[in-house]
Amino acid sequence: MNWLLSSTEAILVVSFCGSSKKERNFRDSFGANRSVGQITIIAQAASYFSILLLSTNRFFCIFKPLEYLHIFNNRNTFVYISITVMICLAYGCVYFHGPCYFIFARSSLEFTFSQNTCGDFLSHYIDFWMSIVILAIAIFLDFFTLVKLRMY
């Protein structure tokens, strides 16, 4: 098994070093930047929804202990996680549309949305406000969970 890994590494190094500089120029590639932006947006949404799901789990565990096992059994938990993954992938699919993108701008060293109506809408309403609402709900649930825990 170790020889397979070493062989694979050697093939990758040789093929990368053997390719021309033009083929390796990832920094100036709009397509590569766009893909990294999509992956970043999907991961960001996944982290926000994971925080919300964990806060919801804690909330039901403390406030509805008798129903908790039914609400968060293995099957339902799998469904919740699957729905979260589907929402995050759908959220990332918006950035496959032509004029809408989210890329890393080397000039400013920051991620940026496209400079058009679509980018403005996505950055303000979808990215900013969706993040604020999700995190506010999670903080709200965690606050009341903490208050209930401190009462006992």
Residue-wise pLDDT tens digits, 4-57: 334 444 444 334 444 444 444 445 556 667 777 888 889 999 999 999 999 999
Q: What is the 3-state secondary structure (H, E, C) of 60-113?
A: HHHHCHHHHHHHCCHHHHHHHHHHHHHHHHHHHHHHHCCCCCEEEECCCCEEEE
103, 110 in Cβ contact below 8 A? no
pTM, two decimals, is: 0.73
Angle at 84 between CA 83 and CA 85, to 5 degrees: 90
For residue 5, how far is the Cα from the chain centroid?
30
- Look at residue 95 and tell me whether its pLDDT is greater than 80: no
Between 110 and 54, the more confident residue is: 54
> What single DSSP character describes residue 20?
-
Of the chain, the end-to-end C-alpha distance in Å amounts to 55
* Angstrom distance (rounded) from CA 96 to CA 142: 35
Angle at 30 between CA 27 and CA 33, to 5 degrees: 65
- Look at residue 79 and tell me whether its pLDDT is greater than 60: yes
* Angstrom distance (rounded) from CA 88 to CA 41: 8
- Tokens (6 digits) for 130: 């969706």
- Look at residue 75 and tell me whether its pLDDT is greater than 50: yes
